[in-house]
Chains A and B, each alone.
Chain A
Amino acid sequence: MIFFPVLAAIFVPILFRKLKSIHTGWFVLIIPITLFIYYTGFIQTTMNGGHAISSLEWIPSLDISFVSYIDGLSLLFSLLITGIGALVVLYSIFYLDKTREKLNNFYVYLLMFMTAMLGIVQSDNIITLYLFWELTSISSFLLIGYWYTRDGSRFGALKSMLITVFGGLMMLGGFVLLGIMGDTYSIRELIANASNLVGQEFFILALVLVLLGAFTKSAQFPFYIWLPDAMEAPTPVSAYLHSATMVKAGLYLVARFTPVFAVSEVWIWLVTGIGLLTLFWGAFFAVKQTDLKAILAFSTVSQLGLIMSLLGASAISYHVDAGTALFKFAGFAAVFHLINHAVFKGSLFMVAGIVDHETGTRDIRKLGGLMGVMPISFTVAFIGSMSMAGLPPFGGFLSKELFLTSTLALKDFNLFNFSTWGIIFPIVAWIASVFTFIYSFYFVFKTFAGKRKKESLSVEPKEAPVGMLIAPVILAVLVVVIFFIPNVVGDTLVNPAVVAMQAGLYSHPSEVLVHVSAWHGWTPELLMTLGIIGLGSILFLTMRKWQPLYNLQPELLSLNGLYDSLMMAGEKGMNRLSRLYMTGVFRTYLIYMFVSIVVITLATLFIKDAFKVDFNSFAPLNAYGILTAVLLILSVVMILTAKTRITAVIALGGVGYSVAFFFVIYKAPDLALTQLVIETITVVLFLLAFHRLPELKRHGESKGFRLGNFIVAAGVGITMALVALSAHSQKLIPSISQFYKDTVYSEAGGGNIVNVILVDYRGFDTLFEIAVLSIAGIGVYSMIRLKLPGKGSTDESK
């Protein structure tokens, strides 16, 4: 079933082209609805603590296959994905125009994304989980850049791609480590083996790497920066990907791996700490924003941080005895708030889209007084915001209370220094909640209340079409419904998810004894809520006075500034670096090569202690040899010092003939013959080309230049001499030449061993050597005949 959306996507372009009169979205709508109904069928199974499993083999030899494993946690996410997916598709039918937009692209990307998300939450195999993970990054990239002619879209798409793929790759590293340590790629088997994993060397590294993946995807501090820029996407995309589903993939990952990593102190500290920091940071900066979708983006960041910190706190339940139920509470609160957030944030994004669609702007400074013209949108926005602020009678209130209960419990926890630092948690959470309260009010009242600003709006605002309102209204109704029947939601969805998340602590979902109620007496958390409302109201009313304080923060010191300058520095630095060594001058590259040869060869020789000279094996010195050597060296010196071309050519001939003499001395008659002939031809060639060749000029080579060259050259020369001596002195295995000597007549019927080797034993060498010679001949011929256009063409006629 995971692949259903992506397979259905194949038909989208066909339908788009063939049936132009019907909005393509209507066909697409069928898919998530079907899936949603299909997945509701599993609720009964997971409520009884069961699970459903199906698998599709992919690479059995590497133990990689698509295993779809549906337990409470996967089911909850699958229902969110398909349910909100259906509403978003419905919304997009009215949001996107069927004639102006490229709907085929949009729905293909969206369906691709849906498959990827279902794949993430249902995969039992970590490799396929990673596969789907990157597929969400890619489809999200495509969706953010949907209006690809805008600069902002492309920038946002690239930024989100870079950050999430960075995290994804880190996560892959963590997965591979886990797979090696646990000797399995199956998450269920990893969880079963969790106790064996703990002590292992790379456990903490794997933990941090997996968390990096989760944090980048779920926009946690400091990786949240891509999310506000991803708001360039069409609003249905923002509502779906960047509030309800994709950003929760990281939360899913943390929840799923809690049973594996929860035993580690690092996990609890990192997840809880980063979550709370993100919660505070996002809430704090949401108040600064002036764009509706940017406010919602920061609010998403903040709420994701809240859920993340709860997930961290729930991991503590692995350390305390069953008597302290408060930390199991945190797990429940996390999942419960996750549902709440998906519901209200989806509706809020849709409202923001409606406002944008009907007024032509999303700038909160230009908006106001829309309550009268857009009553339904206002109601939806009001319900969503109040739920976000955590006020009764909306779903957000319940999860906010649960959250405060859990943070209060944290300060009493006395493991890993929590007792000293724990007091910080409820305080930070409380301040963040105050800010949440402020931006929720800011969002809804600055848009809908107050006076109409007629002059700043280009179009006359009016209520959105009914079709566009259906989806947000359904979500808003859900927000209220959840408040009144929290325990139904708890029993059907949350408890099975908690059991999956805290595997090993429960045996049946009904053991999760968390009872949510709207009224639970005069508890400290209720007092805290009252405090939030009090302080939040005061601050909201005086907002005009202190909001400008945000402008004091310099742009460069923000995380976006850091990201931008990092990218710039990377690009410039790399450019400068490559310009530094890529000079374009041939000689520079040659020097790199020669110096590397010298350094590597000498270092190997001496490190491996391979240098050895065995004087005993040397052949005796003879006078002819010495004489030839002197002749050769003299010719070489002559070439080096030659002032005219003719001297150099003759000296080169001298070197060649001396080499031929050496061949004579060392009993190599064939070599000597060839060398003599070849040397003669070479000299003749040089002389033929003689008057067309340039003069020997120094081209102003300075003394230092020549000295540098000489040092490099001498280095190469000495290295080669040492190699010659060393190689001669140590022969590890006997030469195979004896075989040739023994069999040359009996096998090959020849007397001249060298010639027999060339044409019989090793005839292939000769064949291709002939080929080389022919190619060189053809090359020379065609180059001479080749008429190059330009300056030199007159020169050739001579």
Chain B
Amino acid sequence: MELLMAIVIGVLFTAAVYLILSRSLLRIIFGTGLLSHGAHLLLLTMGGLGGTSPPVLAEGITDYADPLPQALILTAIVISFGVTSFILVLAYKTYSKHQTDNMDLMRGNDEHD
């Protein structure tokens, strides 16, 4: 199962980086979304995918899934959501101000150097 997850993570990162490197602002935002998914799954995989029952205390069960990565991921999900919504609005503002979403056109001009 871990091998499969490694492949999934690889695909997610590849796609995310590819999108982030493109010139369109919107695609970059999609890329960051994918990047956070990749990171979350990476956290989960590194912790180990064993465990037959969820980490909720119950009689007679000893083989819980590892709770610590889950707690970390939960925090990460919320934070990445906050960041994603923020940059989405930022992108919208940028677009309405500059009338372009081409990253190559958004660069410091010489007077700001």
Q: Which residue of B lies closest to A640 (CB)?
A: B15
Q: Which residue of A lies closest to B101 (CB)?
A: A694
Interface string of A627-646 (1 = CB under 8 A from B): 00100110011011000010
Contact partner of A621 (CB less than 8 A), chosen from B1, B8, B17, B101, is B1
Which residues of chain A are near B106, meaning CB under 8 Å? 586
B42 touches A724 (CB 8 A): yes
Does A674 lie at the interface of the complex (its beta carbon under 8 Å from any beta carbon of B)? Answer: yes
Which has the most chain B C-beta neighbours within 10 Å: A618, A655, A668, A757? A668
B93 touches A779 (CB 8 A): no
A-contacting residues, B16-68, CB 8 Å: 16-27, 30, 33-34, 37-38, 40-42, 44-58, 64-68
Which residues of chain B are near A674, meaning CB under 8 Å? 74, 77-78
Q: Which residue of A lies closest to B47 (CB)?
A: A735
- Given contacts A619-B50, A662-B41, A682-B85, whether A754 and B4 have CB atoms under 8 Å apart is no
Give the Cβ gap from B86 to chain A, nearest Cβ, in Å: 5
Contact partner of B82 (CB less than 8 A), chosen from A662, A698, A744, A776, is A776
A671 touches B88 (CB 8 A): no
Give bound CA distance, A585 to B108, whole Å.
8
Contacts between the two chains (Cβ within 8 Å), count: 290
Which residues of chain A are near B9, meaning CB under 8 Å? 717, 720-721, 724
Q: Which residue of B lies closest to A584 (CB)?
A: B107
Give bound CA distance, A610 to B110, whole Å.
46
Which residues of chain B are near A636, meaning CB under 8 Å? 11-12, 15, 34
Contact partner of B21 (CB less than 8 A), chosen from A591, A681, A717, A745, is A591
A728 touches B46 (CB 8 A): yes
Does A758 lie at the interface of the complex (its beta carbon under 8 Å from any beta carbon of B)? Answer: yes
Does A20 lie at the interface of the complex (its beta carbon under 8 Å from any beta carbon of B)? Answer: no
B77 touches A758 (CB 8 A): no
Give bound CA distance, A724 to B46, whole Å.
6
Total interface residues in chain A, CB < 8 Å = 104
B70 touches A629 (CB 8 A): no
Please tell me which stretch of A67-75, A164-172, A413-421, A761-769 contacts chain B, meaning at least 4 of its Cβ atoms lie within 8 angstroms of it.
A761-769
B70 touches A671 (CB 8 A): yes
B6 touches A737 (CB 8 A): no
Does A323 lie at the interface of the complex (its beta carbon under 8 Å from any beta carbon of B)? Answer: no
Which has the most chain A C-beta neighbours within 10 Å: B47, B55, B81? B55
B104 touches A692 (CB 8 A): no
A752 touches B22 (CB 8 A): no
B56 touches A752 (CB 8 A): yes
Give bound CA distance, A683 to B11, whole Å.
21
Q: Which residue of B lies closest to A714 (CB)?
A: B14
A629 touches B4 (CB 8 A): yes
Give the Cβ gap from A712 to chain B, nearest Cβ, in Å: 6
Of all A-B residue pairs in the complex, the 10 with the closest CB atoms, nearest first, are A717-B14, A721-B10, A776-B82, A713-B18, A713-B17, A694-B101, A584-B107, A792-B96, A792-B97, A751-B57
Binding site for A on B (CB under 8 A): 1-27, 30, 33-34, 37-38, 40-42, 44-58, 64-68, 70-75, 77-79, 81-86, 88-93, 95-104, 106-108
* 9 examples of A-B residue contacts, CB within 8 angstroms: A632-B12, A648-B27, A696-B27, A724-B42, A737-B68, A751-B57, A753-B56, A758-B74, A792-B99
